[in-house]
């Protein structure tokens, strides 16, 4: 800019008799800018506006094409990691669900899911203190290795005389961590690497990688009875895959993201109470995110009730672990094929043309529709109808809603994003797992398969009301100074 100013004022500047530079030259030298010889240009080239534009270009050593290649490389790396964990999570989910339901029936969920909710709260509370303090990649590596060790312990327990419900319950608890907590860390990492402007295009691509894992995991679970049973091997042998996937991500991702803008952490020591107070203060100052939290509370509870209702109907007709695993994994596979299609053809258009806030309204509507279908399925004790209700809830949750949420979270400050994700996404999920239990017990005691989805319908309706407030306050929230993020090149 100083060189451009020098060029504009050159006709008015003269050197003194001693050959010393004028004041502008002194200013340039004091700023540490090396002068380059002025090349004669045409009048059009020397236009001050052209000079101003050329002087204001991003000072990035990489060419635009190099930046595009880096974005593509990092998108692929995060996508592969998400795919590996999604595959491991869905595979473990299918095995744990079939083993537990075959051994103890849906009543076991009344115990296991609240334990899973408390487990997520405990880990999230611990991470609240450290996840934004230290490098995000380091936190991810520690978590992946820790979950790999826990899966190995569960495998060992399957070989002991303990009831199968014990290791199966442990695997399901680990599955909750693998499917719900760990992805929040990875999505926060993606928010570090990519700008908020890039997120609307990059995040759906990463989600499509996730669906590859969601397809592979259930596919392996569906086929495993056919090739394990002839070998006289227990179905739980395929649980060797999740720990391998966790270790692979811990080794691969830090190397693939070398040179990216992954958060190094703020380095400040903060107690759990202080971290929670800081995060809740942020959410209270952002009305749209506050309504996101309220909507998530009722929708996640409704979703837990829908999941339980579908399992309850399923176990009325199927009892063996092999048949339950194949049917549940097949339904999951169908759900994620539909999710991939929506993510491929619908999500980018909705986010780019209608906006993020509109994307956040769809899940409450889909949950309400799923509850209505499950009421019918429960009344008829029909497995197919009940699975359609489950599909309505899960498809939107794992496609449009997931991308809309992560795009919204990408606008939060880097140093608070993961903790805010825990509060808005993970806490409602954990509380849903915990508080669904007494409602499910009432439904089991009444022996009415349609009772629980009726309760889910009431909560999902409240979710629609809360989500409308998200739309009403979204534009105003985006003007808040609390959403100011550091400027990143690229």
d(CA 312, CA 322): 17
15 dihedral zone (left: phi>0; alpha: psi -120 to 50; beta): beta
Q: Give the list of residues 6+ apart from residue 245 with CB closer than 8 angstroms, or none.
A: 84, 85, 87, 88
Phi, psi of 164 (to 5 degrees): -65, -20
Q: How far is CA 106 from the centre of its chain?
A: 28
For residue 21, the model assigns a pLDDT of: 42
Evaluate whether 377 touches 386 at the Cβ level (below 8 Å).
yes
End-to-end CA distance of the chain: 22
Q: Give the list of residues 6+ apart from residue 469 with CB closer than 8 angstroms, or none.
A: 287, 291
Closest CA to 257 of 87, 99, 159, 136: 136
Helix axes 383-397, 400-409, angle to 10 degrees: 20
For residue 61, the model assigns a pLDDT of: 40
Q: Give the list of residues 6+ apart from residue 229 with CB closer than 8 angstroms, or none.
A: 235, 322
User: Degrees (nearest 5) of the Cα angle 245, 249, 250?
Assistant: 115
Question: What are the pLDDT tens digits along the chain (490 aa)?
Answer: 445 444 544 444 444 444 444 444 443 344 343 443 433 333 433 343 343 333 333 334 444 455 777 778 888 889 999 999 989 998 998 888 888 888 888 888 899 899 989 988 988 888 777 766 667 788 889 999 999 999 999 999 988 888 888 898 899 889 988 888 888 788 878 877 776 677 777 887 887 788 788 888 888 888 887 888 777 788 788 899 999 999 999 999 888 887 666 655 555 667 778 888 889 999 999 999 999 999 999 999 999 999 999 999 988 888 788 788 888 888 888 888 898 889 888 998 998 899 999 999 999 999 999 999 999 999 999 999 999 999 999 999 988 998 899 889 888 887 788 788 889 988 999 999 999 999 999 999 998 899 999 999 999 999 999 999 999 999 999 999 888 554 333 3
Q: Tell the residue number behind the tokens 């090149």, with chain if given.
A: 489
For residue 490, the model assigns a pLDDT of: 34
For residue 268, the model assigns a pLDDT of: 62
For residue 14, the model assigns a pLDDT of: 43
User: 393 to each of 160, 247, 307, 316, how far by Cα in Å?
Assistant: 37, 31, 9, 21
For residue 53, the model assigns a pLDDT of: 34
d(CA 183, CA 163): 31
């Amino acid at each position: 800019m100083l060189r451009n100013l020098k060029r504009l004022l050159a006709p008015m500047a003269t050197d003194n008799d001693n050959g010393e530079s004028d004041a502008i030259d002194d200013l340039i030298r004091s700023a540490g800018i090396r002068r380059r010889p002025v090349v004669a240009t045409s009048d059009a080239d020397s236009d001050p506006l052209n000079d101003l534009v050329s002087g204001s270009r991003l000072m990035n050593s990489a060419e635009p094409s190099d930046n595009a290649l880096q974005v593509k490389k990092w998108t692929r790396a995060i996508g592969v990691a998400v795919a590996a964990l999604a595959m491991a999570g869905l595979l473990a989910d299918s095995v744990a669900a079939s083993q537990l339901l075959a051994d103890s029936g849906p009543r076991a969920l009344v115990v296991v899911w609240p334990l899973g909710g408390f487990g997520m709260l405990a880990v999230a509370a611990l991470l609240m203190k450290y996840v934004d303090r230290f490098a995000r990649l380091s936190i991810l590596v520690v978590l992946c290795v820790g979950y790999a060790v826990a899966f190995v312990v569960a495998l060992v327990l399957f070989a002991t005389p303990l009831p199968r419900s014990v290791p199966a319950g442990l695997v399901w608890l680990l599955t909750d961590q693998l499917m719900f907590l760990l992805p929040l860390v990875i999505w926060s990492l993606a928010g570090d690497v990519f700008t908020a402007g890039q997120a609307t295009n990059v995040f759906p691509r990463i989600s499509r990688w996730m669906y590859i894992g969601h397809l592979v995991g259930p596919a392996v679970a569906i086929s495993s009875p056919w090739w394990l049973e002839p070998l006289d091997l227990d179905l739980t042998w395929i649980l060797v895959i999740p720990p391998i996937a966790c270790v692979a991500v811990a080794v691969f991702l830090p190397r693939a993201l070398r040179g990216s803008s992954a958060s190094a952490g703020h380095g400040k020591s903060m107690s759990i109470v202080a971290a929670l107070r800081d995060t809740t203060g942020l959410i209270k100052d952002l009305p749209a995110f506050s309504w996101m939290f309220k909507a998530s509370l009722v929708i996640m509870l409704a979703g837990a009730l829908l999941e339980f209702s579908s399992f309850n109907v399923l176990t009325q007709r199927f009892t063996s672990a092999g048949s339950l695993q194949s049917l549940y994994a097949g339904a999951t596979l169908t759900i994620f094929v539909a999710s991939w299609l929506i993510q491929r053809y619908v999500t980018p258009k909705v986010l780019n043309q209608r906006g993020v806030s509109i994307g956040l309204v769809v899940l409450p509507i889909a949950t309400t529709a799923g509850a209505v279908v499950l009421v019918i399925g429960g009344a008829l004790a029909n497995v197919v109808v009940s699975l359609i209700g489950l599909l309505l809830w899960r498809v939107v949750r794992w496609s449009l809603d997931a991308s809309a949420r992560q795009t919204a979270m990408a606008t939060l400050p880097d140093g608070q994003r993961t903790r805010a994700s825990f509060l808005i996404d993970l806490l409602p999920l954990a509380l849903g797992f915990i508080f669904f239990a007494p409602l499910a017990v009432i439904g089991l005691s009444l022996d009415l398969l349609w009772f629980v989805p009726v309760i889910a319908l009431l909560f999902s309706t409240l979710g629609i009301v809360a989500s409308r407030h998200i739309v009403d306050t979204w534009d105003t929230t985006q003007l808040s100074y609390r959403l100011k993020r550091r400027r990143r090149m690229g």
